[in-house]
Structure 1
Amino acid sequence: MKDQATLGEGRVADAVRGHWADTLLPAWFRPYARLSRLERPIGWWLLLWPCLWSMTLAVSTAGPGSIPSVEQILYYGAAFWLGAVAMRGAGCTYNDLVDQNIDEKVERTRSRPLPSHQVSRRNAWGWLIAQLLIGLFVLLQFNSYTIWLGFASLSVVAIYPFMKRITHWPQLVLGLAFSWGALVGWTAITGQLALAPVMMYLGAIVWTIGYDTIYAHQDKEDDVMIGVKSTALLFAENTREWLILFYAVMVLCMVLCFATAGVSWPAFVGLAIAAAHMGWQIWTLDIGNAGQCLTLFRSNTQIGWIIFAGLLVSIWA
């Protein structure tokens, strides 16, 4: 298969138009940027938020003499950001390699770099390895406990693309992978796990199932045609009721997390505002409107900001 990355600029149907990845990057590199979904930052934001929540939670509950310096906190925050971008890009690249035959059959994805032959499989594997090396570099900035904990997440990441072939719950496996930052954010500061980050991890998992179910409603017709599974197909017209359950469990887990950690009241205020946002998503959801499903899915980064702000203020409250 000939690599067509340098033979002209391809277009991807579901990519963001006019993004800097398609206007400022060299033409030869743009297909690789599309493999990593650089023009769609929502993915790495959703991967980053549990990291930042957990790190901020750990800082807000640190005892006298154990609070990291501002410089160290900023350094770790920047490292988590770079790691989220790299690992989300690696995950998307790996997913496209695994799903190339499926993507060729779906209108929204058949113009992606691999099925449209903008990038060869060999070059895509090379790009995947490069992103994994960046992720490894980031991981090595932390303590040994966090390093080994980070490595443990790779097994979940590796099996995720195959789950939609065998179960209606691939969103659960995505939640296990995307929420891992709730564990490593805490251990990066404390060097050990505790009940609070585990509760946050569970909450982030069900949050992920909820927002990715909304996202999956965009592709349900194509999914039925090609025989892959999702919670969107499983829940169908009962999606709203399931979202009420998932988001309620998410809020409950976060309340228990905050109470266990002993954070101050601004964290709970932020969580209450985030819960109202989730209620708005459920109230307005139209599973037959693909564009609205995408908009509601993207709005979950606002939940990330709200919870993060509450935790940040709680440090000084």
Structure 2
Amino acid sequence: MTHGSESALSVSPRRRAPQVSYRNAASPDVLNEPGTLAVFGFGAGVPAHDDPRWMAIALECLDAPAPLEVWQVEGQVTHGSEGDLRWSAGDGWLFAAIELDERAHGGPRDTAELAYRQLREFVDRRPERHVQRIWNYLGAINQGEGDGERYKLFCDGRAAGMGHFFNEGFPAATAIGHHTDAHTLQIYLLACDRPGVRVENPRQVSAWRYPRQYGRTPPSFARAMSLPSQDVLAISGTAAVVGHSSAHEDDLDAQLDETLANLEALLASAGMPAGFDTRSPLKAYVRHAIDAPRVLDFLQTHLPGVPVLMLHGDVCRSELLVEIDGWRYA
């Protein structure tokens, strides 16, 4: 879902990136604030809203109380819905989301294909057609063997639904398994009316070049995306992968060290200063809830002051215990 070339950044004016923050606030109050593009609540206890900008994410928060994640832009925001798809737009930015029940659409592969086809067709009609970042949450992500693993079936469907829309390169992305209804697929994205610049990690094989052992269809994402504002890096789900192989099986501390090394490599590749700060919110997806205190202690020690949202979620490889994504504001 990205059209045009990266060289367009040299002639296009800069676009101020959405401000992403974690807030302990009531969702109606945040939705009423000027410039609110999207608001996310986490876990089973979040309230329901019919506002298209609101999304209840099927991942339990390991913090209490669970904050909201808020995206805000400058200028007026419009919003609407088309069937299962909902959206909002403002200041050249687009939020779009879809949630489907696999039981109604033929299982994980066919549901992913349908979801991506609907998102592709919608975004292709919009001026904000350059997709920067996508999040994918599906149940029981590691269930199944070989090519029948649910994540691999999702990858097959995702590629089919994308068609040729990402021929010029993939956006940044995350795919995590949630622990609620195994049949629920949630996908949401951030797009812009101008292209970003894809960033890869020299320590890792690009995901779309993974060998056959990882499934019929390799994962379709860039390791990060430098947004059109040129001062914000949207970081994909990052874990202890070196080359294309998982590292440090069953060793949480070593996986955290490796993940942090990968994050720093991405910053260097993007030409950004090392480290994260109070304006750079991250998410940590932790496979085993019992590990959350160790993960939090590690992050507070190595990334002091950085806002981190701790979520109970399964990484797409069963041997990986933690994954981190987020934003780096220059």
Q: Which has the higher strand share?
A: 2
TM over 0.5: no
Structure with more contact order per residue of length (Cα contacts < 8 Å, sep ≥ 6): 1
Structure with the bigger percentage of helix: 1
What TM-score, normalized by structure 2, do the two folds share? 0.32
Q: Which has the larger radius of gyration?
A: 1
Tell me the TM-score normalized by structure 1. 0.33
